[in-house]
Structure 1
Amino acid sequence: MTQLSSGDWWSYERDDNVGVWTIHDWEALFDEGLQDAEKHYSETANQDEITATIIEFGHVDSLGAEMQDHMTDAWSQLAQTVELERTAYVADGITALAVKSNVEAPNTELETFESLDSALEWAKE
């Protein structure tokens, strides 16, 4: 994978038809840079050659109620406005499952993983 762009708390790489966003510090991103990261996701994931996305969470202590509410509203809207076949959430423990449970994307298959390699394999199927 080749890193194509990044923000203060996130980076973006691409592997064939899969866009991979790594969030290095979720709390800092949520507090200070989420709009830029979401704009980048919207613009990039909407490209014709992207059929799947992966969002990998690096450092996450917990997803508070405000964060989960934001995912339910903004991330569900993002997922429904880009045309993707699959989206994977990668994180340790139950974080990825918590994200998945807050995102509504009826036309996109959502899945959770604890490793990026497993998520990439699934996204490319």
Structure 2
Amino acid sequence: MSESTGSLPNPSEYEWSFEQHGGVGVWFMQGWRGFADEDLDAVSTHYRERGSRADIEATLAVFGDDTNLPRETQEYMAEAWSENGEYTDVDKVGFVSEGTTAMAVKSKMDIPDADIESFGDLDAAVEWAQG
């Protein structure tokens, strides 16, 4: 189930998508290559604004197999996504990937008052986020 409204970036225009599973917002970044570019700015804005709504209690970012995180992207994410996670005021922030991407992103996050976790499986991540 996708959602885009007025001021939110429309996921269909970028290399990422959004779904909601109960109170969990899930951002799929499969097509994203990991650079601090227009796609990353758009998903960051969408995450911040959509994740802060009352119907989202936890968030997950799912990275595709092709995601590559050069140092400048990791630095951007550490700063911007930590701020975004704090802004949303959610209880749990998770990252999902089959490889080490989720663990690498998790290790850079600093979000006070939120549990942060990485997963290799989306179902396990959604279960954790809903628990």
> Could you say whether these structures have the same fold, taking a TM-score greater than 0.5 normalized by the shorter chain as the test?
yes
Report the TM-score when normalising by structure 1: 0.91
1:32, distance to aligned residue in structure 2 (A): 3.2
Report the equivalent of 1:55. 61
3-state SS, counterpart of residue 41 of structure 1? helix
Over the residues paired in the alignment, what is the CA RMSD in angstroms?
Answer: 1.6
Report the TM-score when normalising by structure 2: 0.87
Q: Structure 1: which 5+ runs fail to align?
A: none
1:28, distance to aligned residue in structure 2 (A): 6.3
Question: Identical aligned pairs, as a percentage?
Answer: 35
Cα offsets for 1:72-120 (capped at 9, x unmatched): 1111111111110001100012111100011110211011111110100
Pick the aligned partner of 1:88 from 94, 98, 111. 94
Report the equivalent of 2:7. none
- After the TM superposition, which segments of 4 or more aligned residues of structure 1 sit over 2 Å from their partners? 28-32, 59-62
Q: Is the contact made by 1:19 and 1:52 (CA closer than 8 Å) also made in structure 2?
A: yes
Between Structure 1 and Structure 2, the one with more strand by share is 1
Question: In terms of mean alpha carbon deviation, does 15-24 or 58-67 score higher?
Answer: 58-67
Query: CA distance change for structure 1 residues 28 and 123 in 2, over 3 Å: closer, same or farther?
Result: closer
**1:69-80 matches, cutoff 5 A:** 69-80=75-86
